[in-house]
């Protein structure tokens, strides 16, 4: 008798991430999806409408990835893009001229750049508010708005926004909510289940986990928005290569293992920093002392691997710390197996200098990897005390 294929939807996420993406109709028995590099696909006749015609419109390897991403988020529709910011831009392309968009007062720098430097040319108006204060959210929604865009936790300051509460208030006004979920991944947080209309992932980060590809995704259960996003993906053309789709599917197989280790290490490091006299204002949602801890416990199944703190001795000390680590690599990005350290004010963060969104010059950001936690703590200790 032929073997029956199990319904992955009935299984735990730790099991599903291992098996998602496999083509159960493939008669070869291959355990991984093939890479389809073809740019174009032949059709039997003019009267046939094939599933795949031109790779920018659709590709079998990308379709396998999008199906896997949709399953992880509990979404009907998923669209893969060539980078996280391409996915952010795709959501922005849903907006019409004159639209007002409500954003958090701590937001990824290139999202800030997009909404303050590029979209105003299309008459898109950003309005930045502290979304941890629901009264401010309600006041912002009192005026017409086309979209609420939020991150939780935010990048870089690690504010935790109550997604369900914001979505409830926005829904009452008929305003869709989009959530950048890159800091949490669908392993620890699923915004669509919390009432969001759209969710964006920088798949470069935790979903891939190996710092070797660029990618992004937008997911939704809204059929009308999905139709528009498909057009944006096809006509805009910011699609990932089949090889990158394959690499991402490969990286996702270890998502559960990696996220648990990221969280374990980050919690240990956050506790170490809380007790160290050279560190202050430690932000990690898993800490009971974190201002967002209660909300994080409500909407997240875990707390991921991002930690920020401030150098007690100020900006010069923060700069010294980021230059003194040996295991933590001084690099941008996040979510990979390697531990990274960065200085948010420098580089991209400087784009917000002089605004209310300017990162603190004493802040240090950690993307905690999967190395031995004792080694990581020892590395931070010697950097703090150097």
Q: Supply the residues annotated as catalytic.
A: 56, 108, 180, 205
Rounded CA gap, 245 and 249, in Å? 6
Strand partners for 80: 217
CA 368 vs. chain centroid, Å, equals: 16
Question: Order of strands, edge to edge, in the sheet holding 306-311?
Answer: 279-283, 306-311, 363-367, 340-342, 329-330
Cis peptide before 78 (omega within 30 of 0): no
Rounded Cα distance, 267 and 270, in Å: 5
Q: Which helix (H) or strand (E) holds 320?
A: helix 315-324
Q: Is 21 left (phi over 0), alpha (psi -120 to 50) or beta?
A: left
CA distance 12 to 74: 13
Site of tokens 């009267």: 47
């Amino acid at each position: 008798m032929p073997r029956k294929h199990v319904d992955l939807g009935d299984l735990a996420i730790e099991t599903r991430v291992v098996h998602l993406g496999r083509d159960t109709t493939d008669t070869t028995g291959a355990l991984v999806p093939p890479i389809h590099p073809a740019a174009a696909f032949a059709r039997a006749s003019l009267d046939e409408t094939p599933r795949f015609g031109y790779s920018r419109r659709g590709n079998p390897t990308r379709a396998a990835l999008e199906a896997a991403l949709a399953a992880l988020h509990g979404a009907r529709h998923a669209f893969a893009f060539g980078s996280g910011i391409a996915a952010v831009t795709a959501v922005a392309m849903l907006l019409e001229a004159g639209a007002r968009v409500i954003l958090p007062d701590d937001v990824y720098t290139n999202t800030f750049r997009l909404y303050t430097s590029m979209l105003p040319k299309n008459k898109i108006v950003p309005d930045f508010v502290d979304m941890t204060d629901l009264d401010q959210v309600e006041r912002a929604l009192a005026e017409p708005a086309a979209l609420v865009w939020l991150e939780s936790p935010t990048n870089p300051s690690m504010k935790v926004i109550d997604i369900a509460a914001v979505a409830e208030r926005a829904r009452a006004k008929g305003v869709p909510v989009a959530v950048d979920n890159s800091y949490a991944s669908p392993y620890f947080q699923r915004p669509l289940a919390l009432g969001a209309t759209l969710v964006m992932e920088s798949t470069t980060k935790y979903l891939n986990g190996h710092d070797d590809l660029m990618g992004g995704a937008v997911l939704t259960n809204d059929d009308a928005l999905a139709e528009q996003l498909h057009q944006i993906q096809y006509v805009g053309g910011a699609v990932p290569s089949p090889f990158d789709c394959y690499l991402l599917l490969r990286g996702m197989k270890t998502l559960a293992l990696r996220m648990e280790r990221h969280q374990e290490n980050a919690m240990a490091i956050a506790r170490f920093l809380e007790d160290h006299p050279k560190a202050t204002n430690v932000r990690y949602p898993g800490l009971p002392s974190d201002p967002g801890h209660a909300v994080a416990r409500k909407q997240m199944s875990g707390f991921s691997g991002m930690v920020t703190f401030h150098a007690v001795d100020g900006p010069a000390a923060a700069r010294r710390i980021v230059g003194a680590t040996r295991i933590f690599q001084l690099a941008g990005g996040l979510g990979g197996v390697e531990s990274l350290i960065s200085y948010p004010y420098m580089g991209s963060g400087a784009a917000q200098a002089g605004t209310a969104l300017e990162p603190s010059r004493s802040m240090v950001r950690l993307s905690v990897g999967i190395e031995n936690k004792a080694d990581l703590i020892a590395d931070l200790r010697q950097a703090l005390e150097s």
